């Protein structure tokens, strides 16, 4: 039987096949292969996102370092609250319901366990505000910077600093949820029972003990002091 082999490919055909294979391999792994532009975008966005998060965290830390030393814990006979140092003479702003009808108080500054004595200067229950003064202001007492409450805007990031549930030097974070609220403090639970106008509403967690503390913006300015508990008139609890 006469078995014939198929003719070998011509050199030109074989060279073309080898060239095509080389080009395919180069297209899969070579440096000149085209890249999806979305890959470069996602890789560039990741460092930017990390930088933005780091910047925000640094801003929080800076505000806390600026303001927290100015926030104190105030202990009355029947109530516990917070206060904000107003000046280096020992004046402290707090809520009227924190001081109640008492005249003397025990005050603990941030970062210290030493109890200081303070006396009532004045109380104004219609706005739930009061001022007490330390009998012997310690060296290095740091006054807070008070801002302009009417300039507070909805959506601003704020930090609430105080002694919720007796846990001194605590910080929570949120935003300004609304401004210009008219709210009524509960009278049965130790509040003044007053209806207070132009209040700032915030999403930052506020608990018993935060009363009289600081609501602070990212410029380290105190824009308000959280009341004990409030409800909108006619809206129930």
91 among known catalytic residues: no
| Backbone angles phi and psi of 193, in degrees to 5 | 80, 5
70, 123, 163, 211: the active-site residue: 211
189 among known catalytic residues: no
210-219 in b/e burial notation, b at 16+ Cβ within 10 A? bbbbbbbbee
| Backbone angles phi and psi of 44, in degrees to 5 | -75, -30
Q: Are 92 and 72 in contact (CB under 8 A)?
A: yes
Q: What is the C-alpha separation between 234 and 198, in angstroms, rounded?
A: 17
Q: What is the C-alpha separation between 193 and 157, in angstroms, rounded?
A: 29
Q: What is the C-alpha separation between 47 and 141, in angstroms, rounded?
A: 40
In the DSSP assignment, the letter for residue 166 is G
Residue 127, burial from CB neighbour count under 10 angstroms (0-12, 13-18, 19+): middle
97, 123, 168, 220: the active-site residue: 97
Cβ count within 10 A of residue 95: 29
Q: Is 73 helix (H, G, I), strand (E, B) or coil?
A: strand
79, 82, 123, 128: the active-site residue: 128
Q: What is the C-alpha separation between 210 and 167, in angstroms, rounded?
A: 9
In the DSSP assignment, the letter for residue 233 is T
Active site residues: 97, 128, 211
């Amino acid at each position: 039987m006469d078995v014939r082999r198929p003719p070998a490919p011509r050199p030109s055909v074989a060279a073309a096949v080898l060239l095509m294979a080389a080009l395919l391999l180069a297209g899969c792994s070579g440096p000149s292969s085209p890249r999806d532009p979305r890959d470069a975008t996602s890789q560039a966005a990741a460092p930017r996102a990390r930088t933005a998060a780091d910047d925000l965290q640094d801003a929080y830390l800076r505000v806390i370092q600026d303001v927290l030393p100015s926030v104190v814990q105030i202990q009355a006979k029947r109530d516990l609250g917070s206060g904000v140092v107003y000046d280096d003479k020992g004046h402290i702003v707090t809520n009227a319901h924190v001081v109640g009808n008492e005249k003397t108080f025990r005050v603990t500054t941030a970062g210290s366990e030493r109890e200081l004595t303070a006396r009532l200067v004045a109380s104004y229950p219609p706005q739930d505000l009061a001022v007490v003064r330390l009998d012997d202001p310690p060296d290095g007492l740091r006054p807070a910077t008070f801002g302009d409450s009417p300039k507070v805007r909805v959506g601003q990031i704020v930090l609430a600093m105080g002694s919720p549930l007796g846990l001194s030097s605590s910080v929570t974070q949120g935003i300004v949820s609304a401004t210009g609220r008219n709210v009524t403090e509960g009278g049965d639970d130790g509040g003044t029972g007053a209806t207070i106008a132009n209040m700032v509403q915030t999403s930052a967690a506020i608990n018993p003990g935060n009363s009289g503390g600081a609501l602070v913006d990212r410029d380290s300015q105190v824009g308000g002091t959280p009341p004990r508990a409030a409800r909108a008139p006619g809206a129930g609890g």
